Structure 1
Amino acid sequence: MSCNCEKELESKFSADQVDLSLMEKVFERYFNENGNLISILQDAQGVYGYLPLDVLKLISDKTGKKKAQIYGVATFYSQFRLNKLGKYIIMQCQGTACHVNGSEAVGQAICDELGIKPGETSSDGMFSLEDVACLGCCSLAPVIMINGETYANLTPDKARKVIQDIYAKEKEEAV
């Protein structure tokens, strides 16, 4: 019986081709420093905006740490992104007020509209969906925030319309 654990784990990471030479300065900065893995991952994400699979493999090669350890750290901490973010970042509040006012149905409508789940980016690269603990807009529940703009008192239909309106605006600007 064989284990495809590494392949399964790697499937969670973006396999985009990236310029690995951009990591040279990061490795120079942390050369011979113990306990530097999180710092290296943070800097790598700063360079690319997320953690591409090829970069994680390079970090393994350069640091001598096992890929499983690097993948474990990258997947454990919520600060690390495994895929590129979309042009529009949707943060959906999962706080109590939003939950009791229907955020689950709003979230399902967003997922259905974009064909993604929380933590993913739409195939066209336009939207990323993130669940957040609280946006601090409890009296406006349920709410989402898109690139800093709050959309309040949502229903599933209103949430779909917000996304459709953004797509329409993008289409107009492209003309």
Structure 2
Amino acid sequence: MTLPEGTPEKLSGPEAPAERTWSAQPDQHPVSPTFDELTRQRAKEIIARYPVARSALLPLLHLVQSVEGYVSQDGIRFCAEQLELTTAEVSAVATFYTMYKRTPCGEHLVSVCTNTLCAALGGDAIYRSLSEALGTPDRPLAHEETAGEPGTPGSITLEHAECLAACDLAPVLQVNYEYYDNQTPESAVALVEALRRGEKPPPTRGAPLTDLRTVELELAGFTDDETVAAAAVAGPSAAPESLRGTALAAERGWAAPALPDEPPALPPLPEK
């Protein structure tokens, strides 16, 4: 049987996968015009950063998300086309990482940590309060649902988040991946209400707040405003709570023991 051009060769028996080349199908329709010449140029710049093209897939998916507000099937095809991969290979990555959304997102993505410590200190109550505030009286907003028309000013996508690596400041939430620490249900609802009014309250730590698509473009490695980039780098990154152990050690003269010149011998393996 002759396979169509560009189709992976079928295997028989325990043989390892054969080397394959990629070529576009002659009748393949072009991907969505959403991906304009600027986006294609940026895609080429991303790919040029890596010695192996497929290593560029993660930032390329962020680039797609900066254009669409999520990763659509056209976005999957765009990445596959740029990297000479199959759409199945791209989909496997896009569906593995939670940062890549498969449905349109709001102007802002609000991520509430509901992992163990945050949950015990009020994370579940914060999520419940936001879900009720963003939903309707008879139906709270569910995980990864959007209040408002996706992509429009003031629209918000709400999600549960696993550990946000800020247990010392729990309970925490993020807006477009910027931290808002030591939250309460009341402060979280006030924050979301401000976002819906078009305001951008400053995060506790990190860069000044923008919007999700701008952040996705930055994650892809681009910024349209050097002033914004400089402000992001200059933003606060460490909190007193995070540095308390270091401060105590300095005050009390504590130091970790020096490493020995020779590593200690490993214990013998148990006899079988």
- Normalising by the smaller structure, the TM-score range is 0.5 to 0.7
Pairing 1:33-72 to 2, within 5 Å after superposition: 36-46=53-63, 48-49=65-66, 50-61=70-81, 63=83, 65-72=85-92
CA spacing shift, 1:28–1:117, aligned 2, 3 Å: same
After TM superposition, give the deviation of residue 132 of structure 1 in Å: 4.0
3-state SS of the aligned residue for 1:77? coil
**Aligned counterparts of 1:151 and 1:92: Cα–Cα separation in 2:** 11
3-state SS of the aligned residue for 2:164? coil
After TM superposition, give the deviation of residue 100 of structure 1 in Å: 1.1
**Aligned counterparts of 1:23 and 1:81: Cα–Cα separation in 2:** 21
Which residue pairs with 1:12 in the alignment?
A: none
**Aligned counterparts of 2:46 and 2:194: Cα–Cα separation in 1:** 45
Work out whether residues 18 and 52 of structure 1, in 8 Å CA contact, stay in contact via their aligned partners in 2. no
Amino acid at match of 2:76: L
Aligned partner (choices 133, 148, 159) of residue 123 of structure 1: 148
Aligned partner (choices 121, 133, 136) of residue 166 of structure 2: 136
**Aligned counterparts of 2:173 and 2:65: Cα–Cα separation in 1:** 26
The structure carrying a bigger helix percent of its residues is 1
3-state SS of the aligned residue for 2:95? helix
Pairing 1:22-37 to 2, within 5 Å after superposition: 22-23=39-40, 26-27=43-44, 30=47, 36-37=53-54
3-state SS of the aligned residue for 1:56? helix
Pairing 1:1-175 to 2, within 5 Å after superposition: 18-21=34-37, 22-23=39-40, 26-27=43-44, 30=47, 36-46=53-63, 48-49=65-66, 50-61=70-81, 63=83, 65-83=85-103, 85-115=105-135, 116-124=141-149, 125=151, 126-130=155-159, 131-136=161-166, 138=168, 141-146=170-175, 148=178, 150=180, 152-155=182-185, 157-168=186-197, 170=199
**Aligned counterparts of 1:144 and 1:62: Cα–Cα separation in 2:** 35
Equivalent residue pairs, number: 152
CA spacing shift, 1:164–1:30, aligned 2, 3 Å: closer
CA spacing shift, 1:74–1:152, aligned 2, 3 Å: same
Unaligned runs of 5+ in 1: 1-15, 171-175
Unaligned runs of 5+ in 2: 1-31, 136-140, 200-272
- Give the fraction of aligned pairs with identical amino acids, expressed as a percent: 21
- TM-score, normalisation: structure 1: 0.61
Describe the superposition over 1:39-93 as per-residue Cα deviations: whole angstroms up to 9, x where unpaired.
1442342365243321212333455533222211111133434455543332322
The structure that has the greater radius of gyration is: 2
CA spacing shift, 1:104–1:40, aligned 2, 3 Å: same
